[in-house]
Structures are given as C-alpha cells and as structure tokens.
Structure 1
C-alpha cells in the first residue's frame, strides 16, 4: 500500500469518526440540519457526475439524496404535533423525491436544480428557527 493510499484511508476513517461524534452530540434540530446538508451535498455531487457523464456515480448520489429525504427528513416529520405544516412538508418531500427520480432517469439537470433550490429554502427556514431564542 502506498503512503498516499494509507493516508487516504486514515483521513476517511477520521472523517467518519468526526461525523459520528457530531451526530452523537447534536440536538434534534441540528440532526435535521445535518440531513439537509447531506441531501444538498448529494444533489450537488449528482450534478457534477451528470455533467461529467459518470452514470453510476450520478445514480449513487441521487440514491443517497433520496434516502436522506425519504428515510431521514420525511421519517422525522411528526404529523400529530406538526399538523398541517408536517403534511405540507411531507407532500413537498414527496415532490422533491419524484423530481430526483426524474433527474436520474432523464439526466435532467433542471430537476436537480429545482430539487436543490427547494431543499435549500426549507433548510434556510429550519436554520432560522434554530437561531431564534426561545
């Protein structure tokens, strides 16, 4: 194994520990922010892979974004306490997921752009809620 390969593996392991530590110490609000950040990073990666013609990597990045949206953000919704807002967010997350699937099937950068914009708008509002004093 070359020195750079060993360094890369070590850096990757260190990053995983940092992420795991961040998750373990994060508040529920911060965890949602992390989900938004992960979804946005995956969509941005998918766009780069689409532009470079890397089909497998694009599909993997979109799949990761879908997983975060469906099994993270949507799963975190509380319809009892969230009421109409939770219902509307669920519908919006469903729409974003469908647009991401379209982006993957049709190699549609416009669908990726729309998905990113919508998630960024929700994330921005969510971040603002977290910065508001109780």
Structure 2
C-alpha cells in the first residue's frame, strides 16, 4: 500500500514539475517561439488522437481532437493579424479553417486519413514558420 502511495505521489510530483516546465517555457518564449509551441501542441494532440482511435479509445480520441481544435482555433488562427498579414494571413485563416473541418470530420467518422492530412498540413506550415525564425531573431 505504501508503494502505491509513493508511486502516486511521484506521478503527481512529475506532473507538477512538467507543468511548471511548460509554463516557464511559455513565459520566457518569444512570440515566434510561442507559435512554434502551438504547432507542436496541435501535432502532438493529433498524434495522440490517432493512437487512441487505433486503440479503440473513442472518448480519449475525442479529447485529443478537441485539444487540437482548441489550439488551431484559439491559438494559431487567433494569432493571425489580417491588417498586417494581408493576403498571407487570409490564406492561413482559410487553411486553418480547412484543418478544423478535417479534424471535425475525423472525429465524427473516426477517419485516420483526415487526421493524417490535418497533421501534414500543420507540419508544412510549421516547417515554413521555423525557417523564418532566424530572420526574425536577427531583426
């Protein structure tokens, strides 16, 4: 029984430590790095959704897709600046909208192919975003 309590306490401690690490990373990140973290989070949530779907864990799949949707809608899409970004921001908004529709359809129909397509699109955008990082850091 004590070993069980010790393991549970360790798990809570590790979880708290990880949360503090993430919060510290967010607090010290540049705006560019925050967007990279959003891409990473959305892609991780989609990968988790795929794993849950393939394992038949439908509730967990839904939770993971909801997390990805939240990141795309309330993180990536919300960060777009239509005034300053012009056509690029409009195109990204349309692409994020399409990704959201893919994720909703994947959730509704348990469709791994739609999850894969959403992840590929996010990866393409994230790769381009990472490539501009040195230019942003330099000035």
TM-score relative to the length of structure 1: 0.98
SS at match of 2:80: coil
Q: Structure 2: how far apart are the matches of 1:79 and 1:86? A: 5
The structure 2 residue matched to 1:80, chosen from 64, 83, 107, is 83
Aligned-residue Cα RMSD (Å) equals 0.8
Which consecutive residues of structure 1, in runs of 5 or more, have no partner in the other structure? none
Q: Which residue number corresponds to residue 40 of structure 1?
A: 43
SS at match of 1:2: helix
Q: Which residue number corresponds to residue 58 of structure 1?
A: 61
**1:123 CA displacement:** 0.2
**1:69 CA displacement:** 0.1
Q: Which runs of 4+ in 1 moved over 2 A?
A: 131-134
TM-score relative to the length of structure 2: 0.94
1:34-64 Cα deviation digits (max 9, x unpaired)? 0000000000000000000001100000000
